[in-house]
Amino acid sequence: MLNQETRSTIAQQIFDCFTHRRQIPLLTQSHPEIEVEDAYRIQEQVISRFQADGRQVKGYKIGLTSEVMQQMAGTTEPDYSSVLDHMFVESGSCLKCDDFSDPLIEIEIAFVMKQTLKGPGITEADVAAATDYILPSIELVDFRVARAPGMDVRDTIADLAAVGCVSLGSQPKRLDEVELGAIRGDLIINGSVQESGAAAAVLGNPLTAVAWLANKLSEFGIAFEAGDVAFSGSFVRAIPVQAGDSVIARFDSGLGDVSLQFD
């Protein structure tokens, strides 16, 4: 377990990485005594620093939703992070790769809440009742804690679960209009399909992922509020992007496309 001073120092280092793009070494190597609770407390402090600058939490993301990724990260459950308002970018935006440290692209289903959802004890039915609609989304994954052999969930949690930015589609669907687990999506880069998958790859059902997230948030006194966006986890492998790339996330079930360009 880390002391409060060490947590604060690490949080400041990660916060500074968002501005200076200088990655820091694995926390599990520089601070081998770090625990999962330390990592979440560091994450809280990074978020608090953004809030002190006027940023607001607009949603939450879940990561490590596949068993393979959990095994690689040395954990038996997903991780999560808050997503701040300035991390939301419009579909069709052109982003500069130099604004990120190590950008990769994922695609997933986003849930927009119509009412408060607070754990513990949240079920998939509770999530469905609290959801206003779903949207297709792109998540740009980025790493302030540099990827290296030995990286595990403690490194990613402290690093805001590696969120860089997110982009939402513009064709909402109610849950009763789609078969959620059967939704398929393609990740298309420069006109070529790089990854394809189905939403059921996310813990068997994205509703399960959001229920887990609601219950996990409750451990830290947090609840989903109306208007919050829950990113339920990628159902394809993350693909690196570079300057000049054109990215499209193409979903079936009437959800449409989300796109980003990179300079």
pLDDT digits (tens, 9 = 90+) for 60-75: 999 877 664 566 556 6
| Nearest alpha-carbon partner for 188 in 133, 136, 253, 112 | 136
For the structural domain made of 57-262, what CATH number should be given? 3.90.850.10
Domain boundaries, the chain: 57-262
CB 57 within 8 A of CB 160: no
Which is it for strands 88-90 and 94-95: parallel, antiparallel or unpaired?
unpaired
Which is it for strands 246-251 and 94-95: parallel, antiparallel or unpaired?
unpaired
Question: Looking at residue 78, what is its pLDDT?
Answer: 83
Enumerate the H helices of the chain as residue ranges.
4-20, 27-30, 36-52, 67-73, 124-130, 153-158, 206-218
Question: Looking at residue 214, what is its pLDDT?
Answer: 96
pLDDT digits (tens, 9 = 90+) for 123-163: 999 999 999 999 999 999 999 999 998 888 999 999 999 99
Which pair of structure tokens corresponds to residue 5? 């001073």
**pTM of this structure:** 0.94
Cα separation, 207 vs 81, whole angstroms = 17
> How many of the other CB atoms lie within 10 Å of CB of 40?
19
Which is it for strands 94-95 and 256-262: parallel, antiparallel or unpaired?
parallel
pLDDT at 217 exceeding the cut of 60: yes
pLDDT digits (tens, 9 = 90+) for 170-187: 999 999 999 999 999 999
Question: Looking at residue 65, what is its pLDDT?
Answer: 75
| Nearest alpha-carbon partner for 260 in 171, 161, 160, 139 | 139
Question: Looking at residue 72, what is its pLDDT?
Answer: 57
pLDDT digits (tens, 9 = 90+) for 23-76: 999 999 999 999 999 999 999 999 999 999 999 999 999 987 766 456 655 666
Q: What is the mean pLDDT of residues 75-86?
A: 89
CB 137 within 8 A of CB 166: yes
pLDDT at 205 exceeding the cut of 60: yes
